[in-house]
Structure 1
Amino acid sequence: MNVDITDLKTVRLSQDGSAVIILDQTRLPGSEVYVSLSSAEEVWEAIYKLKVRGAPAIGIAAAYGIYVCSRLIVANTYDSFYSEFLRMKDYLASSRPTAVNLVAALDRMEKVVVAHSMKPVPEIVDLLRVESEAIRAEDAAACRKIGENCLSLLRPGMGILTHCNAGHLAVSEYGTALAPVYLGEERGYGFKVFADETRPLLQGARLTAYELQKAGVDVTLICDNMASVVMRKGWVQAVVVGCDRVAANGDTANKIGTLGVAILARHYGIPFYVLGPTSTIDLNCPDGDSIVIEERNPEEITDMWYASRMAPEGVKAYNPAFDVTSHDLITAIITEKGIAYPPFHMEDF
């Protein structure tokens, strides 16, 4: 039975405000397990270990998380409260360096603290809750608008390839790259989606295939190295991907493997669309070479998913979490504010 995908609450605040409740994505697709996070250490671990993932969802989790942690600060003065707030902010920001939404959300929360320095600490904490809920609501509205903007470029019955997971699980609602797919499904477009498995963490296989199938979308899972085959057969008319950081010149960091998909799309003349909220645009980052790329534990390549170690002991392994797609490979960058075409001037957003 198909479900309304928004019934899955990826990140939310507990009713009493004492915890962040997340859908543990490391347990999908086998089981839907919700985890309660009530300390800075738990929020940090959940972000680092990808229990919550996707740039917008990470930002929302961090905003909720620092609010929850702020409730626990014992401080008699504003200065002592602010000092502890900054310590927690820096700690949470260290969990994932590439996704700009993490730091952007934490910066927004800090601005609330600074702007209300003359208020009693309990009032500041209450305002932090309001701001965290605003961050979540703004993301939901942005995702729907991103979907509408991209849907204007697509036709019913198209074959669409996507990489990693930029769907409902990665945001508050609908997703970024998958938002037009869900809107199209609601309107009878009948898209046929090809989901790359996305090694080594298999976000495409575990998450994208899971949520699209759950929503009744026609989805076919393929290995990463099969993308060229389905493109050559003429089964793909558009590629849609999300983004974790967009540089000022349009260079885009996304999950490892995205660059290869972009190169293939260029070879076969297939439009390559990058979808994301304006919060992922980093105007302080001039180009892709300036984006810090997170490198993860080599065991994700050599050991994870296998009953016993798959690679020889002692072999070197390189495990970058992201790659950078050059702006000249991107057909359009689509945000909630519109569609940008080359040459990209991201400051216009």
Structure 2
Amino acid sequence: MDAIRWEGNTLYLLDQTKLPVTEVWLAYHDWRAVAEAIRTMVVRGAPAIGISAAYAYALAALAGGDLCQAKAGLAASRPTAVNLFWALERMERKASACGGSSDALIAEAKAIHAEDVAMCRAMGAYGAAVVPEHARILTHCNAGALATGGYGTALGVIRAAHEQGKVAMVYADETRPLLQGARLTAYELVADHIPATLIADNMAAALMARGAIDLVVVGCDRMAANGDFANKIGTYSVAVNARYHGVPFYTALPSSTIDLSLSDGSQIPIEQRDKDEVRALGGVQTAPAGVEVYNPAFDVTPHTLLTGVITERGIVYPPFRENLAKRFG
């Protein structure tokens, strides 16, 4: 399963706002349209945003456009996922080295895409080792093939464990307000014939209390040097509940998502989204039009609630500041 394709100097994105009802691929020839696709979550997930931005930068080169303007415009599309900025910096370095050659920049974007898939498969292999037999796993939001170049981070771990016959059930939080768990994670799990049960976000603690969850694995949009990390809003609640109930809690992420320039999670910028995402559901108004709304896209989970960090270079355990620096500094 994939959500990003490059064919004939055109970027194609699977419109994730239409899933799971219809599968619509959109064609992009201009970096500005890709920036809008990132803003409106046609494409989402930290690694997928970075890959799409890399291809958009290459589109700017193909059009003979101003690469500095393209970088700035793409960087402004969403503030939290560090992969966006990592990919754009890498593309800018390549542009400086190759004189802005569109062929070289397309090749670099393809390399970023291929490397992400390889990293996801590697972290899947490492993560599967901590999954017990007959595991009942909880995940939040979507950190699968749709959020990456393919295979997935948290869902990559689940996929690898399923291939080893370890997975009894995956519980997917629906993930309000945009339902990425219901629309996207459930879609991926059903498509891959992995046992799946969809739950409302407020049901996870009750399952843990019944002893029905053996492990939690979630994705990550940015991790600070001490292991604090931003992920889809609601992740912090899952982590608190997991700690209370003694359930191991892991995040899975590629090294491109680790931002060692930030000392802790308080420095991670948190995107605030449109208030009507909470006032309505599927286009149907569910709250008074005049009610005030707080709608952050992400929250920050403190490293003290983490069991381990699953990466393409192995699993990092506490103390996170010291061990992240050793592995990725």
TM score, norm. by length of structure 2: 0.97
Instruction: State yes or no: 1:110 paired with 2:92.
Output: yes
Aligned: 1:63 with 2:92: no
- Tell me, in whole angstroms, the C-alpha distance in 2 between the residues paired with 1:56 and 1:130: 17
Is it true that 1:274 corresponds to 2:251 in the alignment?
A: yes
Structure-1 residue corresponding to 2:130: 153
Name which of 326, 330, 339 aligns with 2:306.
Answer: 330
Q: Is the 8 A contact 1:243 1:274 kept in 2?
A: yes
The answer to whether 1:347 aligns with 2:320 is no
**Aligned-pair CA distance for 1:331:** 0.5
Residue deviations 1:267-286 (CA, integer Å, cap 9, x gap): 00000001000000001111
**Partner-residue secondary structure (3-state), 1:292:** coil
Deviation digits for residues 149-173 of structure 1, max 9, x if unmatched? 1111112211000000001111112
Where does structure 1 lack aligned partners over 5 or more consecutive residues? 1-7, 75-83
Are the counterparts in 1 of residues 131 and 161 from structure 2 also a CA contact under 8 Å? no
What pairs up with 1:45-194 in 2 under 5 angstroms?
A: 45-73=36-64, 84-117=66-99, 121=100, 124-194=101-171
**Which is greater in Rg?**
1
Residue 9 in structure 1 maps to residue 6 in structure 2: no
Greater Cα offset, 186-195 or 205-214: 186-195
Q: CA deviation at 1:9?
A: 2.4
Aligned to 1:203: 180
Distance (Å, rounded) in 1 between the aligned partners of 2:315 and 2:166: 21
**Is the contact made by 1:63 and 1:106 (CA closer than 8 Å) also made in structure 2?**
yes
Closer, same or farther: CA 100–127 of 1 in aligned 2, 3 Å: same
2:64 match: secondary structure: coil
| Amino acid across the alignment from 1:330 | L
Q: CA RMSD in A?
A: 1.1
* TM-aligned CA deviation for residue 313 of structure 1: 2.4
> How far apart in 2 are the matches of 1:337 and 1:194?
27
Partners of 1:40 and 1:109 in 2: CA distance: 14
Contact 2:131 2:166 in 1 (8 A): no
SS of alignment partner, residue 281 of structure 2: coil
Q: Deviations over 1:58-88 (max 9, x none)?
A: 11101011101210016xxxxxxxxx10111
Q: State yes or no: 1:317 paired with 2:293.
A: yes
Deviation at 1:190, TM superposition (A): 3.2
Percent identity between matched residues is 50
- CA–CA distance in structure 1, aligned partners of residues 98 and 159 of structure 2: 40
Counterpart-to-counterpart distance in 2, 1:213 and 1:329 = 30
CA contact (8 A) 1:296 1:321 kept: yes
Distance in 2 between residues matched to 1:274 and 1:188, nearest whole Å = 21
> What is the CA distance between 1:306 and its match in structure 2?
4.4
Deviations 1:289-335 (A, max 9, x none): 0000000000000023243x221121110100000000000010110
The answer on whether the counterparts of 1:181 and 1:191 sit within 8 Å (CA) in structure 2 is: no
User: Which amino acid is 2:84 matched to?
Assistant: L
Q: Which of 22, 27, 32 is the matching residue for 2:23?
A: 32
CA distance in 2, matches of 1:195, 1:98: 23
Give structure 2 stretches of 5+ with no counterpart.
none
Letter in 2 for 1:42: A
Task: Report the Cα offset of residue 136 of structure 1.
Answer: 0.6
Counterpart among 204, 223, 240 of residue 217 in structure 2:
240
Q: Report the TM-score, using the length of structure 1 for normalisation.
A: 0.91
Q: Write the deviation string for residues 1-28 of structure 1: whole angstroms up to 9, x where unpaired.
A: xxxxxxx3211112x21x2101110000
Question: Counterpart amino acid of 1:11?
Answer: I
